[in-house]
Structure formats: C-alpha cells, structure tokens
Amino acid sequence: MIKIVMPTRGYKTMQVTSKLIMQSVVLLSLTGCAQVTTQMNPDSRHKVNLSESNKAARCCSTLSQVHYQKVGKDKSVDIELNNESPVIKLLSGYTYIEGVEIPESKGSINIELNSLLERNVLIPSIMLLDDTFKVVRIYDETSLKHERSGVLYPERYTTDIEIDLPKNQETKVKYLAIYTTDELLSKTTTRYPISNEALWSGDIDANIIEQNKGEIPHSETGVVSLNFEYDDVETRFANEVDPRLLDVIPSEMISDSALSAVSKEEQYKKRIRDLIQNNQYEQAVKLVKEADELGLSSVGEEMLKAIQSK
C-alpha cells in the first residue's frame, strides 16, 4: 500500500530543551540556509526545445530506458533535471526525466521531497513504478506543499511519500521518476512576502522580489532533493549479534552493555556527521534529541563540531 502524508514535522515551531541543540540552531541560522535569489521574467524559464528530427535521439521511448540512480549510504539523493537529461514524451508533453531506484527495506520507506525556490522553481511530478516499469502511482502538484523559509530550509515545495511493504498481491514499488508537465510550466509561483527587516537591510534579492510582486517562473530544469528514511535490510543495530557468529562466540562473552553503550554512541555520532555533511540539519537535530533522551550527551557536541567544520 502506498500513501502520501503532507509534512507535519516541526517547520513552524521547534521546541528544543537541550542547550547544545539551541546552540546548533543558532549556528544553522548562520550557516545552514542558502540565500534565495529570484528572476522575474516568466519567458526566461527553460523549455524542452528539440526539433522533430532529434527528439527520438534524446532517449527515451519507454520508462525502462531512463537512468535510475541508487540511493547512497547517507540515504539521500539529488535528482537534477538539466539540458543533458533524457527526454521522454508523456501524455502531458515532452519532458526531461530522471529517476532513482527504491532501496530494499525491512519495513516502510518514507521519502521527503524538497524543491527550493530560487531564480525559478522546478515543480516536480512524481511517478512510482514497479520492477517492470509499469506506473503504480502518480503524484502531481496538488501533493506538494508550498512552505515559507525557515531556519533549516529556504522557501520550498515539499512533500512526504510513504511506501509500505506490499501485502498479498499488491505491487512492489521499485523505481521513482521525476518529470514536469506543460501545464505547470505555463504557471508561476507567488513567493511569501519579504520581511521588512530583509528590505531595510538592503538585500538586493529581497528588493527584486518585492518590486516584481514575488512572482517567479516554473522551470523544466532544477534539482529535487530526496531524503529517505528506512531500515536497511543489512543494517545491524548495536544490540544485535550476527547470527553467523553464535556458533563461535560463547554467550557469556557477549556483553549487552559493551555492545550498547560505546558502539551506540559512535553510531549516533557517525550518523550526525553524515547528516550535517549532506545539509540534513533537521534530521540531525531530531537525532540529537533522541540521543540526549538516551543519556548520550556527547552526541550534541559532535553536531556542533560537524557544523563548525563545514
């Protein structure tokens, strides 16, 4: 079963009790947010402008010909549609298209999708496919939520997609593809109002947005970030022992405290470093809170070090 969940995680208000986390948020406000720029000419948006003679040469007559990249160890992927991307003809028109292979998981998979508003914005449509590249589900712009800028993210379009393990005869989702439609390219997005503080500061981008009433064009090119949350099939947690070792390691030699204390703390620290390196600040803050509740106080310090070293 597949369901979509509109984001409810704390983008508007984030209450953090740990002093270390509060220090991290201050640092994030200085280092973690990309500057938002804009360009107001709707005619400047990128278009798929291929002649009839070379449309077929740009790939793809079927979805099986699209390149589907794999999800890395950090469980995040940036999908970029650009002028070098393959082109496919769908019912909604010609479009650039790129994809990602859904990883194997012990349970359900949650995918957070983000498309940032900059000089223009890519409004993605999303297809979920089975292992034979047949379409299982399509998500259009109505599945996306337009969110104002905050500490962790610039202004963006975002959504959460949850993929459950198939039950009985349900089709297993194997691939995800990102594309655009002609209908969306004919529209623009109105940005959230610029604060007086930003205007008074003399910020050039803020003043350009204000003068043009905040309208930015939709583009066929851009970057869509996907952050995956799932239990890796091969992942073993700190308190788990490889069954292959049970025949050679006496049970009295296995110490739960030794497995769970030091190694668990190091796992948290490594995950924090990976998240900060990939600009996944909100997930890092949540992980610090979780570690703090387990008494792993040094994890918060690790987050501060990771932010300062970027």
Query: Do 228 and 163 contact (CB within 8 A), yes or no?
Result: no
Task: Write down the domain spans for the chain.
Answer: 9-32+236-310, 33-229
Name residue, tokens 């993929």: 163
pLDDT tens string, the chain, 310 residues long: the values are 544 444 444 433 333 334 444 444 434 433 333 332 223 333 333 455 544 444 445 678 899 999 999 998 899 999 999 988 999 988 888 899 999 999 998 889 999 999 998 889 999 999 999 999 999 999 999 999 999 877 677 889 999 999 987 776 678 899 999 999 999 999 999 888 766 665 676 666 666 666 656 788 999 999 999 999 998 876 444 444 444 333 333 333 334 444 444 567 777 788 888 888 878 888 788 888 877 777 777 888 888 888 888 7
Burial status of residue 155 (CB atoms within 10 A of its CB: 0-12, 13-18, 19 or more): buried
Reference 284, options 32, 104, 7; nearest CA is 32
pTM: 0.57
Name residue, tokens 């995918």: 111
Question: How far from chain centre, in Å, is Cα 289?
Answer: 21
Reference 165, options 113, 114, 102; nearest CA is 102
Q: For residue 109, what are its two tokens?
A: 């998979």
Instruction: Look up the CATH architecture of domain 33-229.
Output: Sandwich (2.60)
Helix (H, G, I), strand (E, B) or coil at 304: helix
Helix (H, G, I), strand (E, B) or coil at 69: strand
